[in-house]
Amino acid sequence: MTHVETMLQAKNWAVVGATDNTEKFGYKIFKALKEAGYSVYPVNPGITEILGDTCYPALKDLPVRPEVVNVVVPPKVGEQIMNNCSELGIKNVWLQPGANAANVVAAANNLGLTVVDQNCILVELRNHKEICTSV
């Protein structure tokens, strides 16, 4: 089983860089995961609520530890997010296109995280409907 398939079977996700701006991928990804039946937590220090769900300022503020963190932030903050995941014991990170700069991927690998960095979750949700509907 690939890292993509393994992560798609996880039930609890966080989206770092989630937003209430419906034009941005942070919103589209959060909404798509939610609609696919995942338990998903939005993380963004500048927003309080997305689609009726509380938006948390940081991963450490979440009520549960997510199994997968989907990262939709600029590479300049991505390395810090990798450190946060490692400190919190979160092993699976999914770096969206644009968040998957070499320095962020290297930081994740150096911390021993399992990384998906060449796939968009929106595409994979469509391509793996049989996995996603079983969560």
Q: Going by C-beta distance under 8 Å and a sequence separation of 6 or more, which residues neighbour residue 23?
A: none
How long a stretch of residues is the chain?
Answer: 135
**Position 64 pLDDT exceeds 60:** yes
Q: pLDDT per residue over 70-93, tens digit each?
A: 999 999 999 999 999 999 999 999
Q: Of 98, 39, 27, whose CA–CA distance to 67 is shortest?
A: 39
H helix and E strand count, the chain: 6, 7
The token duo for 29 is 């990804």
| Average pLDDT in the chain | 95
**Position 133 pLDDT exceeds 80:** no
Give the H/E segment covering residue 53: strand 53-54
Q: List domains and CATH numbers for the chain.
A: 3-132 (3.40.50.720)
Burial (CB < 10 A; 0-12, 13-18, 19+), residue 68, is buried
Q: Above pLDDT 70, what percent of the chain?
A: 96
Confidence of residue 129 (pLDDT cuts 50, 70, 90): confident
Residue 122 CB coordination number (10 Å) = 15
Q: pLDDT per residue over 3-42, tens digit each?
A: 999 999 999 999 999 999 999 999 999 999 999 999 999 9
Higher pLDDT, 1 or 108: 108
**Which amino acid, one-letter code, is at 88?**
L
